Amino acid sequence: MLEHLRQNGIYRLLAVVIAIILWMYVTGEQNPSKEAVIRVPLETENLARELVVAGRPDEVQVRVEGRRATVDNLLSRDVHAYVNLRDVKVGANDLPVRVEVPAGINIVHINPAQVTVKIDKIEQAQFPVQVALLGTPASGYRALEPVLKPSQVLISGAAGALKDIGRVYVEAKIDQASGNFLAQLPVKLADREGRPLQEWLTVDPEVIETFIPVVQDMPSKILAVRPQLTGEPAPGYAVQRVILQPEVVEVFAPYNYLAALDYINTAPVNIAGVTKNLTVDTTLEIPAGVQVSNFPRVRVVVEIGKASAPAAAPAPSGRAP
């Protein structure tokens, strides 16, 4: 009986082995192995906060092997190629490329298997922003001096990259414009030869509010800005001084309009009941038919202080008749 069971067990094991071999053969015939070369972006990991990558290869080539169906469906985003920057130092670092692939895929070769990554310290510098005008205004109109908010940006990056910056600017398309241009424009960088320069650098802020007055080609006049205050400070307090930024504004209008203008008002600023200095950003009241040369906003600083006590009347002297 034991001998019979032993022989049956051998036959059964042999049948399982043959079935596996047949399955592998059929699978190999229907879905054979295949190799492919995939270009994969090279990423970086674990870089210290005070350091920045100043140079590295953009991508590597990875030769993989697997079943045809799996390889044919493999995309570059399915493969993760990176270098670990945990222990790097400032300067050139030769590092191995590490690659992670999905299940069912084998790595045959990585080219290059080692890359040089340049590391630099992060530095910051402030740069003024220029405006590049694209096109010209419509006939009979002209563009005046742009107004930028803010007018400077803070750029962070490798010291070498900061030295390469030749120009920081925004591009304003004013072709055939017949009215003021106002837009949030992205900041662009160029090197000293005018070529785009953005990689490895961080710009703060990334967009700039750009105002370009586009006015009719008319006569102009410089007018004082006059604050228009409404209400009264709290009892015992008084207005000590009013500071305006700007104090004057250039306006454009036909001659008969300009002749009647000596100043231009701000929008009303309410000081009712105030007991301390008040700062308000407000607009200008621009008369019809008049155009201004800059952004029509003004900062009004109203300085409030204790009101002076009235002088006492002099006491009578001598004897009454």
User: Per CATH, which fold does 220-306 belong to?
Assistant: RNA Polymerase Alpha Subunit; Chain A, domain 2 (2.170.120)
Per-residue pLDDT, averaged over 104-124, amounts to: 92
pLDDT surpasses 50 at 255: yes
Domain boundaries, the chain: 28-120, 129-216, 220-306
Q: What is the mean pLDDT of the chain?
A: 87
Distances (CA, A) of 154 to 48, 128, 198, 256, 289: 21, 9, 14, 46, 40
pLDDT surpasses 90 at 205: yes
DSSP string across 101-124: --TTEEEEEEESSEEEEEEEEEEE
| Cα 157 versus chain centre, distance | 14
Confidence (pLDDT) at 52: 85
d(C-alpha 75, C-alpha 39), whole Å: 9
Superfamily of domain 129-216 in CATH is YbbR-like domain (2.170.120.40)
Q: What is the pLDDT of residues 47-84, one digit of tens each?
A: 988 888 888 899 999 999 998 888 888 888 999 999 99
Provide φ and ψ at 224, rounded to 5°: -75, 145
Same fold, 129-216 and 220-306: yes
Q: Kind and range of the H or E element at 302?
A: strand 297-306
193 vs 198, more confident:
193
The answer to whether the CB of 99 falls within 8 A of the CB of 123 is no
For 28-120, CATH number out of 2.170.120.30, 3.40.50.300, 2.160.10.10, 2.40.10.120 equals 2.170.120.30
Q: Which residues contact 3 (CB under 8 A, 6 or more apart)?
A: none
253 vs 12, more confident:
253
d(C-alpha 76, C-alpha 181), whole Å: 43
Confidence (pLDDT) at 318: 42
Please tell me the pTM assigned to this model: 0.56
pLDDT surpasses 80 at 319: no
